[in-house]
Amino acid sequence: MAIAAQFVFLLAVSCSLTIMPGRTEASPSETHGPIRIFSDSEFTAAKGVRSGTGTATDPYIIEDWDVSVGTTDGIRIESTLAYFVIRNVAFSGAGLYGYDGVSMAMASNGRIDSCTFQWVDVGVRGVSCKNITVSSSNVTDCRAGMRFDTSQDIAIKGNVVSLCQFGAGYQSSYRCTIAGNRIDNSSEAGIYLESSTDVNVKANVLENGQAGVQLTQSSIVIIHHNNIINNTMQGSELQGSGNYWYDPSSSEGNYWSDYGGQDADSNGIGDISYVISTNQQDRFPLMTRFSDAPPVAVVSPTRPACNTNDPLLANASQSHDALDVQKSLEFRWDWNADGIWDTAWVRDTLTAHRYTQVGTFTIALEVQDSCCNVARTTATVIVEDVAPIINIQQESGAVVHTRTVTVTWQSSDGGSGLDNFEVVLDGGNATIFGNATTSAEFSGLQNGNHTITVRAFDKAGNNASDTITFAVDAEAGLTYPLLVAGVGVLATVIGLVTYVILRNRKRNTGNQ
């Protein structure tokens, strides 16, 4: 009796762990029938679209619905290029081998985020898709969590998949990632790749399944920083080539719960390889479970500025992550830090926004890594339309008798501050000087009239200029090097004459 009670208790704990909702937020209140979209023009309110215009920064948003999957797929999207997001939608079905939650064919530029799937065939399925992200979603009791065939540029990240036959997989797909997912209790395989190329499998937790990571006829697959725990078959590779069960750049592999090696030098890497098959090994097995760190969010410059005519080009390119290269990071912006994000998650590090009013604004940037970890930062933006003040110190109309001229100026900007100067001689190419420069020298000027313009730019892009005109009247043959030569000849002549006179005087004295 006591043993039975303990067993029930353990089972309850185990279940509460495996169905832990992770990062999903789905709590939809309205039901919606099946949604079928077969072209970009069908992203309409009648099809569940709540907002958006279909661009990368303002995608169509289908969100906050409760969709039951019965005699057809919950959401079917075909032959689209418009950007879309399916967010916070709960899909529930009648059972396996029926219909899918989200099913896409020849769809591009989509994101399925923070959705839940239960008792459907495949949570998210894609065939011949491009640039699709499935993130922060929760799949339980389905045949498979996510599956893409003949697709490219797909990211499956930060999802929880429990109690399904298969977790997440690709077939005949290219340039894809599976990162930061928790996949447990898979009765077939947690992660499965077939005939796929250039796939990054990182920082996933694969626990208590039949197979952890299963590769068939795939190449250039890199499997690293995963926690592979208590699966019947932890990893397998069949007929592959060019695959690595560790990260070749960092020389770090995966955590394997059944690894038996030691770490004599205490560097966190086991001293012998973890053997996957006769010709595949993790050469750098991790001694402890890996936990991915969030990225670092950076807005640069730290104090951006713009005017109301030109957009701010917000720059997140200095953001970084320990595990990800920059192109794996995503960014979103809130231009007034009111907590309402003004862009969707975008991959471009530069995003334009035009302010219609001058003032000082706080902007917020969030950066998401390939495991769905997020970092946030804020910066102050100065929006101002007042041009700098610039005054050249020399008077216009002067005549100078030299071929080298130095122009000096005074400049200031009370708003965003000076950024740089452009100096132009006689309408030629501009020479750029930094904001601390106060003079520029021109040499080798020809005789005649000249013009010099100095243009000051502030950090907001406003500018003002001052111009002087002057004439050069330097006589030919009297330029500096010739003058020195002339003086030298004269000195030599004087010296010779003096020498002759003195010698003649001596000779005359000696003759006396």
Kindly tell me which residue out of 184, 237, 252, 321 binds Ca ion, with binding defined by CB under 5 A.
321
Q: Which of 254, 462 has the CB closer to Ca ion?
A: 462
CB of 428 to Ca ion, least distance (A): 27
Strands 405-412 and 439-442, sheet pairing = antiparallel
Which residue, among 109, 147, 108, 155, has the nearest Cα to 329 in the 3D structure? Answer: 155
Kindly tell me which residue out of 292, 330, 366, 466 binds Ca ion, with binding defined by CB under 5 A.
292
- Residue 194: strand pairing partners: 171, 216
Piece in contact with Ca ion (CB under 5 A), picked from 70-78, 88-96, 320-328, 486-494: 320-328
Q: How far apart are CA 185 and CA 209, in angstroms?
A: 4
Q: Which of 115, 297 has the CB closer to Ca ion?
A: 297
Look up residue 353 and give its two tokens.
Answer: 């926004």
Q: State yes or no: residue 306 binds Ca ion (CB under 5 A).
A: no
Q: How far apart are CA 37 and CA 263, in angstroms?
A: 55
Q: State yes or no: residue 310 binds Ca ion (CB under 5 A).
A: no
Kindly tell me which residue out of 4, 30, 232, 265 binds Ca ion, with binding defined by CB under 5 A.
265
Kindly tell me which residue out of 42, 184, 282, 458 binds Ca ion, with binding defined by CB under 5 A.
458
Look up residue 233 and give its two tokens.
Answer: 């078959």
Q: Is residue 201 within 8 Å of 222, Cβ to Cβ? A: yes
- What mask of x and - would describe binding to Ca ion in positions 358 to 397, judged by CB under 5 A? -----------x----------------x-----------
Look up residue 497 and give its two tokens.
Answer: 């004459």
Q: Which of 271, 473 has the CB closer to Ca ion?
A: 271
Which residue, among 415, 396, 395, has the nearest Cα to 461 in the 3D structure? Answer: 415
Q: State yes or no: residue 260 binds Ca ion (CB under 5 A).
A: no
| 307 to 106, 246, 270, 391: CA distances (angstroms) | 41, 49, 56, 22
For tokens 């640069």, name the residue.
Answer: 300
Piece in contact with Ca ion (CB under 5 A), picked from 74-82, 402-410, 452-460, 481-489: 452-460
Q: State yes or no: residue 247 binds Ca ion (CB under 5 A).
A: no
Q: Count residues contacting Ca ion (CB under 5 A)?
A: 19
Piece in contact with Ca ion (CB under 5 A), picked from 43-51, 152-160, 290-298, 360-368: 290-298
Q: State yes or no: residue 263 binds Ca ion (CB under 5 A).
A: yes
Piece in contact with Ca ion (CB under 5 A), picked from 111-119, 299-307, 434-442, 456-464: 456-464
Q: How far apart are CA 437 and CA 33, in angstroms?
A: 67
Q: How far apart are CA 163 and CA 493, in angstroms?
A: 107
Which residue, among 208, 144, 146, has the nearest Cα to 176 in the 3D structure? Answer: 146
Look up residue 453 and give its two tokens.
Answer: 């313009």
Q: Which of 113, 324 has the CB closer to Ca ion?
A: 324
Piece in contact with Ca ion (CB under 5 A), picked from 75-83, 221-229, 411-419, 431-439: 411-419
Amino acid at 96: L
Q: Which of 151, 319 has the CB closer to Ca ion?
A: 319
CB of 317 to Ca ion, least distance (A): 17
Site for Ca ion in 120-159 (CB under 5 A): none
Kindly tell me which residue out of 413, 419, 456, 468 binds Ca ion, with binding defined by CB under 5 A.
413
Piece in contact with Ca ion (CB under 5 A), picked from 22-30, 56-64, 209-217, 408-416: 408-416
Q: Is residue 448 within 8 Å of 472, Cβ to Cβ? A: yes
Site for Ca ion in 323-342 (CB under 5 A): 323, 334, 336, 338, 340, 342
Q: Which of 177, 462 has the CB closer to Ca ion?
A: 462
Opening angle at CA 226, ends 221 and 232, nearest 5: 95
Kindly tell me which residue out of 120, 156, 193, 269 binds Ca ion, with binding defined by CB under 5 A.
269
Q: How far apart are CA 103 and CA 38, in angstroms?
A: 12
Q: Is residue 43 within 8 Å of 84, Cβ to Cβ? A: yes
Summary count for the chain: helices (H), strands (E): 2, 43
Query: How many C-beta atoms surround the C-beta of residue 166 within 10 A?
Result: 25
Q: How far apart are CA 305 and CA 413, in angstroms?
A: 13
CB of 314 to Ca ion, least distance (A): 13
CB of 375 to Ca ion, least distance (A): 9
Q: Which of 40, 263 has the CB closer to Ca ion?
A: 263
CB of 302 to Ca ion, least distance (A): 18
Amino acid at 416: S
Q: How far apart are CA 495 and CA 320, in angstroms?
A: 74
- Residue 281: strand pairing partners: 275
Q: Which of 66, 342 has the CB closer to Ca ion?
A: 342
Amino acid at 212: G
Piece in contact with Ca ion (CB under 5 A), picked from 2-10, 18-26, 271-279, 344-352: 271-279
What is the contact surface with Ca ion in residues (CB under 5 A)? 263, 265, 267, 269, 271, 292, 321, 323, 334, 336, 338, 340, 342, 369, 386, 413, 415, 458, 462
